[in-house]
Chains A and B, each alone.
Chain A
Amino acid sequence: MNATALIAEDEPLLAQALATDLGREWPGLKIVAQVGDGASAVAQALALRPAVCFLDIRMPGLSGLEAAQALAEDWPADVAPFPLLVFVTAYDQYALQAFETQAVDYLVKPVEASRLAACVARLQQRLAERSPGAAAEPVL
């Protein structure tokens, strides 16, 4: 399945690692943007409209949760479906808030390969449900 994604992570090694791991688990996923802070995440997501957003929570400026909220407020719902959100963080205390943003998943750093695989499976299933029969089509 092909899809686009945005990664928001302020620690460059971890961003690089997530991109690499995703490349292994989901070859059809294209990382269209990699940013280091919440405000850039919102800007890039609105501009590029990826299907999936991987958000770190503790970032300079806007946090991942705040970015998700800003994105929800400004998202043009009639033009494109709201991206699937996955929070990736070392802190487990934000799980409840993340749930309230209707995130698809909440990954705790460091992310194990099997846990990432489960997340990928969940994302692929959600994307497939969204447009049945679109699994073979490229999603912009």
Chain B
Amino acid sequence: MPTDHGSTAAPPAATMSPYATPSAKKFLRHGVHVALAAVVIAAVLTIAQDGDFWVKLVYAEAISLCSWAAIDFGRFLFKPHPQTGWPQGWRAVALPFLGCVVGYVVGQQIGDAVFGWSSFSAYRHGHRPWIKDVLLSAVIGFLFSLFYYLRGRNAFHRAQVATSERDATLAKLGMLQSQLEPHMLFNTLANLRVLIGIDPPRAQAMLDRLIAFLRATLSASRSNLHPLQAEFDRLQDYLTLMAMRMGPRLVYSLELPAELQALLVPPLLLQPLVENSIKHGLEPKVAGGRIDVCARREGERLVLTVRDTGLGLGAGSSLSGGFGVSQVQERLATLYGDAASLTLAQVDDDAGGTLATLVFPTTPPAFLAPAAGSTSTTGHTA
């Protein structure tokens, strides 16, 4: 089934913390939180220290709001990290500290202006221990900053998880959709319809192949690993159907040594390569050609090759940019990192065409280790 719709998968956008960009709504919300917290602080101080609640409230609001403004706006002066909304390095600590100092000084002045006295002269004359006030301010400021920093980081992580889950779902859907491409189905059914009239036993055999292929497609999109034999069975079904359609223009061979049959591999790694060979190599070639799929082991690695005698890579079609090929490369990178590779090369012998070579470790990635009974057995079930 054609998987190349001429579009390549776009790289996922980097997730950002929602606090990394300035937003009037967020500022307002933070400001309201701080103002409310200042009321609580003033109440606690009134109970703890005696004195006028309203005086304490005015000072608490003035200092808190000034500190908050200095920190919340100041973090954008310091270029916040996109993942946390907070500056990095020494600035991460300097910001709340400076913000609290600035906020304390300015806020104190505002409070003084409201009540018409000077706190600084009180400090100078020893009437008020300024160190206690400053420390109180600093601790509260630091706690608030820590709270907002952790919340920003948490929001970023949640956004990241949501994006990953969405990408995984989209990838699975894309894979399923590319396998059940309607034109392939309609063309195959059209051929089957003809066969029913002229060669009913062959039509039944072909229909069995189509059923097995569709069943394998569904289970492949659900499972993470299946035996290499299952993958080859599926290729056989697909190539038999394509040979029915292309007639003498398609000849194929599949070679899987007995000792590799039970090896567990991720599904649908070979299928897009075979489809590409047919779609870009053989179908557009008037004379058609052949496809040979082989599996062999080289030490701890599995080498799978798909060779076609089609038009080859220089035929003008964007074979390397095809959706199927790039999707296989992405999946390999996700599953095996650097230990796997997919290379496409022009073949330089008389028959020409393209050779796709897929190499990856024989041991499946640890995070795909199958639970009991979760691997699919795609046999020709009746």
A binds B: yes
Binding site for B on A (CB under 8 A): 10-14, 16-17, 20, 36-37, 39-40, 58, 60-61, 90-91, 109-111
B193: Cβ under 8 A from any A Cβ: yes
Give the total number of A-B pairs whose CB atoms are below 8 A apart. Answer: 52
Q: Which residue of A lies closest to B183 (CB)?
A: A90
With A13-B195, A14-B191 already in contact, the answer to whether A91 and B183 are too (CB < 8 A) is yes
Interface of A is mostly: loop
- Chain B residues contacting A37 (CB-CB under 8 Å) are 286
B292 at the interface (CB under 8 A from A): no
Inter-chain contact A17/B194, CB cutoff 8 Å: yes
Q: How far is B246's CA from A17's CA once the two chains are assembled, in angstroms?
A: 14
> 13 pairs across A/B with beta carbons < 8 Å?
A10-B249, A10-B283, A11-B187, A11-B246, A13-B195, A13-B244, A14-B194, A16-B194, A16-B198, A17-B197, A60-B286, A91-B183, A109-B187
B190 sits at the interface (CB 8 A) = yes
Alpha-carbon gap, A16 to B199, bound state (A): 13
Q: Among B194, B197, B285, which residue has the most Cβ atoms of chain A within 10 A?
A: B194
4 new A-B contacts at CB < 8 Å, known A10-B246, A17-B194, A90-B183: A11-B246, A13-B194, A14-B245, A16-B194
B247: contacting residue among A11, A20, A39, A40, CB under 8 A = A11
In the complex, B90 has a CB within 8 A of chain A: no
Instruction: Report A-chain residues with C-beta under 8 Å of the C-beta of B195.
Output: 13
Q: Which of B191, B249, B283, B284 contacts A13 (CB 8 A)?
A: B191
How distant is the Cα of A33 from the Cα of B316 in the complex, in angstroms?
31
A134 vs B100: C-alpha distance in the bound complex, in angstroms? Answer: 101
Which residue of A12, A13, A17 has the most chain B CB atoms within 10 A of its CB atom? Answer: A13
A91 CA / B187 CA spacing, docked (Å): 9
Residues of B within 8 A of A91 (CB): 183
